[in-house]
């Protein structure tokens, strides 16, 4: 198991990625976004705990105007904890109207 504290500046986000055994995000500051492939963009705030199931393609990051910090926890399978994929485009990142809470 590994974990880390990650801060995204406003508008910053991860690339699409998957974790073989899933991931837990605990938001500790700011406002962010998370999306699973094919699903809606979700707004996340301080105190939210997000559970991403194993092998679900997803991304997470800050809102366009507010930084976001989270604790990310994931476990490795056969020495691999993450598979990085393509960058999240501006269109995929979405507008405020595309975000649900």
Percentage with pLDDT > 70 across the chain: 98
Q: Which residues of the chain have pLDDT under 50?
A: none
Q: Residue 10 CB: number of other CB atoms within 10 A?
A: 14
Per-residue model confidence (pLDDT) at position 98: 76
CA angle 85, 89, 91 (to 5 degrees): 140
Rounded to the nearest 5°, which phi and psi values hold at 57? Answer: -70, 130
pTM for this prediction: 0.93
Burial class (CB in 10 A: 0-12, 13-18, 19+), 2: exposed
Q: Which two tokens stand for residue 58?
A: 């997803």
The CA distance from 98 to 86, in Å, is 21
């Amino acid at each position: 198991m590994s974990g880390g504290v990650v801060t995204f500046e406003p508008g910053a986000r991860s690339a699409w990625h998957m974790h073989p055994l899933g991931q837990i995000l605990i938001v500790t500051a700011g406002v962010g976004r998370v999306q699973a492939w094919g699903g809606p963009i979700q707004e996340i705030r301080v105190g939210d705990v997000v559970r991403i199931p194993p092998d679900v393609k997803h991304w997470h990051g800050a809102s366009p105007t507010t930084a976001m910090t989270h604790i990310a926890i994931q476990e490795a399978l056969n020495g691999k904890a993450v598979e990085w994929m393509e960058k999240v485009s501006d269109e995929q990142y979405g507008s405020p109207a595309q975000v649900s809470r």
